[in-house]
């Protein structure tokens, strides 16, 4: 399904406009009403009034929502491409839970508290889980069918969450911080917390974007891709590594956030077609928009309280997941 360049450019403009609008809304909406002049002042660095101070706290939050959404969107698109599976998502496949277990273990047993060490740990946990789930899901007849991958992921998630409980329970002292991190959210973001993750996100995105052409070839089937001179296993491993780095880094900073990686690539394919060179950047933009929008929704629906963004994405994403399942031909699944 190729789309004419004009359609793509049009969508690009629409998505970018949406992003700007959502970022502005994210700065202005919250439990305190603020004026536009305050926003402009706060963006220039003034924190004179209470309103400006409130906005100054919303800036890192918005940045994190944009970054996390973009990273998860790309990671989802790459995972769906690598596994050739419409249901692949870092949350469904248990990769986020693997990162979570690694982080919780690091906190409880090895006293890891610095952001950078948490990110490395998360990437380690995410990689191991991704390999494990993929191997489990591709055993047996028919290779990695969506059903087997989803089941392997769901069951692995359940098991890992038991292990997380086992690690946290004896440690009443860290339970509170683990809990607030685990619910997932961008609410308490600070620039100091975000900045260690930025290099990882950049590296992950570069790897993913560099794999775009190879993912297109993989979509033709492994034999054909190999026939066209692609080293299938290497490409697949490398692209997956990029996605795992992104998931690990985001999970470390914002907690496990599910379903963004699932929803976004499907929406983007409808807009720009299946070409990964276009699909990946679009997934980043739409992912950023979706996560920012979810964060705003979470702030509005539970006023004056807030709904963590991970909960909002699950409520939005699960019906979408179901719609995808219903659309697929059963044999194809």
Partner 1 sequence: MRTLSSTPHSANPVARERDGRRRRRTITLTVLSMLVILLVAASLMLGNTFYPPGDVTRVLLGQDVPGASFTVGRLRLPRVALAVIAGVCFGLGGVTFQTMLRNPLASPDIIGISSGASAAAVVGIVFWGLSGTLLSVFAIVVALGVALTIYLLSFRRGVHGTRLILIGIGIAAMLESVTSYALSKAPQWELQEAMRWITGSINGTRWSGVVPVAVALAVFGPILLAQARNLSQLQLGEETAAALGVRVERTRLLLVTAAVGLIAFATSAAGPVAFVAFLSGPIAARIVRHGSLLIPAALVGSVLVLAGDLIGQLAFDTRYPVGVVTGALGAPYLLYLIIRTNRTGRSL
CA distances from 277 to 87, 245, 260 (A): 21, 20, 20
| Residue 310 in the binding site for partner 1 (CB under 8 A) | yes
Position among 72, 258, 260, 268 found at the interface with partner 1 (CB under 8 A) = 258
Please give the torsion angle defined by the CA atoms of residues 165, 167, 171 and 176, in that order, rounded to the nearest 10 degrees. -50
For residues 67 and 257, the answer to whether their CB atoms sit within 8 Å is: no
2: tokens are 């190729």
Nearer to partner 1, 176 or 304 (CB): 176
| Angle (CA) 163 179 261, round 5° | 80
253: tokens are 């900073």
If one counts every other C-beta atom within 10 angstroms of the C-beta of residue 57, the result is: 15
CA distances from 137 to 96, 126, 132, 159, 194 (A): 17, 16, 8, 15, 34
| Residue 144 in the binding site for partner 1 (CB under 8 A) | no
| Residue 152 in the binding site for partner 1 (CB under 8 A) | yes
For residues 64 and 186, the answer to whether their CB atoms sit within 8 Å is: yes
| Residue 72 in the binding site for partner 1 (CB under 8 A) | no
| Residue 140 in the binding site for partner 1 (CB under 8 A) | yes
Locus of tokens 């969450």: 161
17: tokens are 């406009």
| Residue 148 in the binding site for partner 1 (CB under 8 A) | yes
Site string for partner 1, 79-118 (x = CB under 8 A): --------x---xx--------------------------
Q: Which stretch binds partner 1 (CB under 8 A): 22-30, 113-121, 269-277, 314-322?
A: 314-322
| Residue 304 in the binding site for partner 1 (CB under 8 A) | no
Nearer to partner 1, 4 or 332 (CB): 332
| Residue 146 in the binding site for partner 1 (CB under 8 A) | yes
171: tokens are 């440690």
| Residue 203 in the binding site for partner 1 (CB under 8 A) | no
If one counts every other C-beta atom within 10 angstroms of the C-beta of residue 46, the result is: 14
Q: Which stretch binds partner 1 (CB under 8 A): 27-35, 64-72, 160-168, 197-205?
A: 160-168
Nearer to partner 1, 160 or 201 (CB): 160
Number of residues that bind partner 1 (CB under 8 A): 52
For residues 295 and 312, the answer to whether their CB atoms sit within 8 Å is: yes
What 3-state class would DSSP assign to 231? coil
Position among 47, 53, 238, 333 found at the interface with partner 1 (CB under 8 A) = 333
Position among 54, 247, 250, 308 found at the interface with partner 1 (CB under 8 A) = 308
| Residue 142 in the binding site for partner 1 (CB under 8 A) | yes
Q: Which stretch binds partner 1 (CB under 8 A): 4-12, 39-47, 150-158, 190-198?
A: 150-158
| Least Å from the CB of residue 333 to partner 1 | 5
Largest interatomic CA distance in the chain:
66
For residues 257 and 317, the answer to whether their CB atoms sit within 8 Å is: no
Please give the torsion angle defined by the CA atoms of residues 294, 297, 303 and 305, in that order, rounded to the nearest 10 degrees. 0
| Residue 188 in the binding site for partner 1 (CB under 8 A) | no
Nearer to partner 1, 130 or 215 (CB): 130
Nearer to partner 1, 238 or 333 (CB): 333
Q: Which residues bind partner 1 (CB under 8 A)?
A: 87, 91-92, 136, 139-142, 145-148, 150-152, 154-156, 158-159, 161-163, 165-166, 168-170, 172, 175-176, 179, 182-183, 258-259, 305, 307-308, 310-311, 314-315, 317-319, 321-322, 325-326, 330, 333
């Amino acid at each position: 399904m190729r789309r004419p360049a004009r359609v793509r450019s049009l969508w690009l403009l629409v998505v970018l406009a949406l992003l700007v609008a959502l970022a502005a809304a994210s700065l202005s909406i919250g439990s305190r009403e603020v004026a536009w002049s305050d926003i402009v002042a706060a963006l220039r660095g003034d924190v004179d009034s209470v309103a400006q101070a409130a906005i100054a706290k919303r800036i890192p939050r918005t940045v994190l929502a944009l970054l996390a959404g973009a990273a998860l969107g790309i990671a989802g698109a790459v995972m769906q491409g690598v596994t050739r599976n419409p249901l692949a998502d870092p949350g469904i496949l248990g990769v986020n839970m693997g990162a979570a277990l690694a982080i919780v273990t690091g906190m409880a047993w090895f006293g890891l508290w610095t952001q950078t060490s948490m990110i490395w740990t998360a990437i380690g946990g995410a990689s191991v889980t991704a390999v494990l789930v993929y191997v489990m899901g591709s055993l047996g007849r028919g290779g990695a069918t969506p059903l087997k991958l989803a089941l392997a992921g769901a069951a692995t998630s359940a098991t890992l969450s038991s292990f997380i409980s086992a690690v946290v329970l004896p440690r009443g002292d860290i339970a509170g911080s683990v809990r607030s991190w685990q619910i997932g959210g961008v609410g308490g973001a600070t620039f100091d917390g975000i900045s260690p993750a930025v290099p990882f996100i950049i590296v992950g995105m570069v790897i993913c974007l560099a794999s775009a052409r190879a993912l297109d070839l993989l979509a033709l089937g492994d034999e054909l891709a190999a026939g066209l001179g692609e080293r299938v296993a290497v490409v697949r491993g490398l692209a997956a590594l990029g996605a795992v780095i992104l998931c690990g880094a985001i999970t470390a900073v914002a907690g496990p956030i599910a379903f963004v990686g699932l929803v976004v690539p499907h929406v983007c394919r409808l807009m720009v077609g299946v070409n990964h060179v276009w699909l990946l950047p679009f997934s980043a933009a739409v992912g950023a928009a979706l996560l920012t929008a979810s964060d705003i929704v979470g702030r509005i629906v539970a006023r004056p309280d807030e709904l963590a963004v991970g909960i909002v994405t699950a409520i939005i994403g699960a019906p979408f997941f179901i719609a995808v399942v219903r659309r697929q031909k059963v044999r194809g699944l």
